[in-house]
């Protein structure tokens, strides 16, 4: 399909030039791809508002005792166990209605502060520094990813680690591949990251180390 809007827009992560990539869904929704960091994101006109997001998250069945749910977050919890003992303090950022990763860690004696703008909105966490931060299935919801990652990096102690989990796109994903990708279908998922985007975050925000695979993304300050 030809581009219905020839104007480029600014990427909200790297502030580079983003061109129209495709449209999808009945509405339809326009998606743009950044020419610099290779991220793909929705037109901001289709970002969900606060109340829609909250109601959507309330439909999630996030039982912290559910073994499948605990297994799903295990790449993050196992990474924390491998890097830190229980004397270290963490933050579960965007923990949602059922903070299962924090629950698993707390059962092992770890102190984990909870923050979620909808369900644990106490902003006092921002006055602290943390040894590690958990960001599990959250970064794809960021309306302002540059500001969010800058904020997260400021909360880490020296040598602190930010553990993230999301589904990545390839730098060269095709329109057909993207349209067939289930992950974009959640209406609260607005921003999708490529390996180049992760490299940008590392370099721009001063992280010293980055590693990633399909299960875990690790930034070290």
Mean pLDDT for the chain overall: 94
Question: Is 137 part of a structural domain of the chain?
Answer: yes
Query: Is the model's pLDDT at 4 over the cut of 90?
Result: no
Spell out the SS3 assignment of 124-172: HHHHCCEEEEEEECCHHHCCCHHHHHHHHHHCEEEEEEEEEECCCCCCC
| 1 occurs within a structural domain | no
pLDDT value for 1: 44
SS3 sequence of 45-65 = HHCCCHHHHHHHHHCCCCCCC
Q: Is residue 34 part of a domain?
A: yes
Instruction: Give the position of tokens 């295990």.
Output: 74
Q: Per the structure, how many domains does the chain have?
A: 1
Q: Is residue 4 part of a domain?
A: no
Distance CA 150, CA 175 (A): 30
Q: Is residue 82 part of a domain?
A: yes
pLDDT at 182 over 50: yes
Q: What is the pLDDT of residue 121?
A: 96
Task: Reply yes or no on whether the pLDDT at 68 is more than 90.
Answer: no
Query: Facing residues of 210 across strands?
Result: 219
Residue 7 has pLDDT above 80, yes or no: no
Instruction: Work out the pLDDT band at 63, boundaries 50, 70, 90.
Output: confident
Which CATH number covers residue 189? 3.40.50.150
Q: Do the domain assignments include residue 104?
A: yes
State how far the alpha carbon of 59 is from the alpha carbons of 1, 97, 100, 104, in Å.
Answer: 34, 10, 16, 22
Range of the domain at 19: 9-220
Q: How far apart are CA 114 and CA 159, in angstroms?
A: 21
pTM beyond 0.85: yes
Range 153-166 average pLDDT: 97
Q: Does residue 45 form part of some domain?
A: yes
- Short-list 41, 37, 12, 22, CA closest to 180: 22
Name the band, by pLDDT with cuts 50, 70 and 90, for residue 178.
Answer: very high
pLDDT of residue 115: 98
In tens, the pLDDT along 8-20 reads: 999 999 999 999 9
Is 27 within a domain?
A: yes
């Amino acid at each position: 399909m030809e581009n219905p809007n020839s104007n480029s827009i600014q990427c909200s992560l790297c502030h580079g030039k983003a061109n129209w990539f495709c449209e999808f869904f009945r509405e339809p929704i326009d998606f743009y791809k950044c020419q610099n960091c290779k991220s793909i994101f929705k037109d901001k006109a289709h970002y969900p508002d606060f109340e829609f997001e909250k109601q959507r998250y309330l439909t999630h069945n996030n039982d912290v005792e559910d073994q499948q749910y605990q297994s799903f977050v295990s790449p993050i919890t196992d990474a924390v166990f491998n890097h830190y003992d229980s004397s270290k303090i963490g933050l579960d950022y965007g923990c949602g209605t059922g903070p299962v990763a924090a629950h698993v860690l707390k059962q092992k004696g770890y102190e984990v502060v909870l923050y979620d703008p909808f369900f644990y909105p106490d902003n006092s966490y921002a006055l602290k520094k943390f040894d590690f931060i958990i960001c599990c299935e959250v970064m794809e919801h960021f309306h302002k990813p540059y500001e969010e990652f800058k904020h997260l990096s400021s909360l880490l102690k020296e040598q602190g680690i930010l553990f993230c989990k999301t589904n990545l796109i390839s730098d060269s994903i095709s329109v057909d591949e993207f349209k067939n990708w289930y992950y974009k279908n959640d209406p609260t998922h607005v921003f999708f990251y490529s390996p180049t985007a992760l490299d940008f975050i590392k370099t721009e925000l001063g992280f010293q180390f980055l590693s990633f695979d399909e299960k875990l993304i690790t930034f070290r300050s």
